[in-house]
Chains A and B, each alone.
Chain A
Amino acid sequence: MTVNAIINGETRQLAPDTTVADVVRSLTRAESGVAVALNDEVVPRTDWVRTVVSPDDRVDVLTAVQGG
């Protein structure tokens, strides 16, 4: 059974019990300068490893880019 979730705007099939930390690692090697929103709410870095992605969750992984 896979879990369908929307990761940075794209639907992806995740293995069961995939955590926010797993999602972050799949997108970037950066260890700092990254933030995560789960259904528009910020997930503090310390909660990434224990936050499991549920079906239909929206996970956004953001970082600093050139701007302003």
Chain B
Amino acid sequence: MTDTLTGNPRSDTGTADDPLVIAGRSFGSRLIMGTGGAPSLRVLSEALRASGTELTTVAMRRVDPNAEGSVWDVLRENAISPLPNTAGCFTAVDALRTARLGREALETDWVKLEVVADERTLLPDPVETLDAAERLVDDGFTVLAYTNDDPVLARRLEQVGCAAVMPLGAPIGSGMGIRNPHNIELIVEEARVPVILDAGIGTASDAALAMELGCDAVLLATAVTRAQDPVLMAHAMREAVTAGRRARLAGRIPVRRYAHASSPARES
């Protein structure tokens, strides 16, 4: 990495059509979806289809005997792989229990590890997250860890065996976009596992920016499910992720302080 503030020295190899590879599994789509907040299962199903996603998070909760239809049915109908999460957990012990239930219910050892510190910010608890990651890896899970935008914590999560690190752009559901793009770049520079920007995305340009910063994928839910038109926003996100990835690979021009003529000087 050169010591310029902007401008990508084209350090990324690969092509726009390369699959996303996590723990040896390939995905054609670099957009991972969440399912929280959709107005109905029908709208959710349409939005997931429009997003082109192949991997989608779900939460584990007590069954509601009166529920009609289920998100599990929606994923199966659309041939989307489930990624059970540990949402709602505040300690490593909680997360381990929830992850094991997700593994049993959905027959996958993949888990989105999410251990938050408090209800108001929903920010990841770094100490509990790292502890949980280590225990889950020991227990045979493929761990995709939701984390703060902290390059040191991301490094530690990778060291204990996480298959992907998922730094937040901003707090869950806030739609504030990427508050610290520099830290995301630092995480990307160092990581040897996929970096997935998770949380904070508000609109398509945020998703494109994540990919331009070098992230391997984007995970989002609220930005789509609570948009006025979730299906249209899902489509926009799909295109934004693709566009951002292409721009990253293309190598953007450096930012200059003054103009740089794009037409040749007039010959006299």
Q: Which residues of B, 15-47, contact A by the 8 Å Cβ criterion? A: 34-38, 44
* Residues in B whose Cβ lies below 8 Å from that of A36: 104
A50 at the interface (CB under 8 A from B): no
The reply on B169 being an interface residue by CB < 8 A is no
A57 nearest CB across to chain B (Å)? 15
A62 & B61 in contact (Cβ 8 Å cutoff): yes
CB atoms of B36 and A67 under 8 A apart: yes
Which of A8, A63, A66 has a CB less than 8 Å from the CB of B105? A63
Given A33-B70, A35-B105, A68–B57 Cβ distance below 8 Å?
yes
Given contacts A35-B104, A35-B105, A45-B104, contact A64 B62 (CB under 8 A): no
For chain A, residues 24 to 51, give those with C-beta under 8 angstroms from any C-beta of chain B: 27-28, 30, 32-37, 40, 42, 44-45
Q: How far is the CA of A42 from the CA of B102 in the complex (A)?
A: 10
Cβ 8 A contact of A68, one of B72, B101, B221: B221
Contact with A along B218-239 (1 / 0, CB 8 A): 0001000000000000000000
**Contact, CB under 8 Å: B97 / A27:** no
Q: Main secondary structure on chain B at its contact with chain A?
A: mixed
Q: Does A65 contact B (CB under 8 A)?
A: yes
Most central of B62, B63, B72, B114 by chain A CB within 10 Å: B63
Separation in Å of the A27 CB from the closest CB of chain B? 5
Question: Is A42 a contact partner of B100 (Cβ separation < 8 A)?
Answer: yes
Query: By the criterion CB–CB under 8 Å, are B62 and A62 in contact?
Result: yes
B97 touches A63 (CB 8 A): no
Choose, from B81-89, B179-187, B241-249, B259-267, the stretch at the interface: B81-89
Tell me, in angstroms, the Cα distance from A66 to B103 when the chains sit together. Answer: 16
22 contacts between A and B (CB under 8 A): A28-B65, A32-B105, A33-B73, A35-B104, A37-B101, A40-B97, A42-B100, A42-B104, A44-B104, A45-B104, A60-B62, A62-B62, A63-B60, A64-B60, A64-B82, A65-B58, A65-B59, A66-B44, A66-B71, A68-B36, A68-B83, A68-B87
Q: Measuring CB to CB, which residues of chain A are less than 8 angstroms from any residue of chain B?
A: 8-9, 27-28, 30, 32-37, 40, 42, 44-45, 60-68
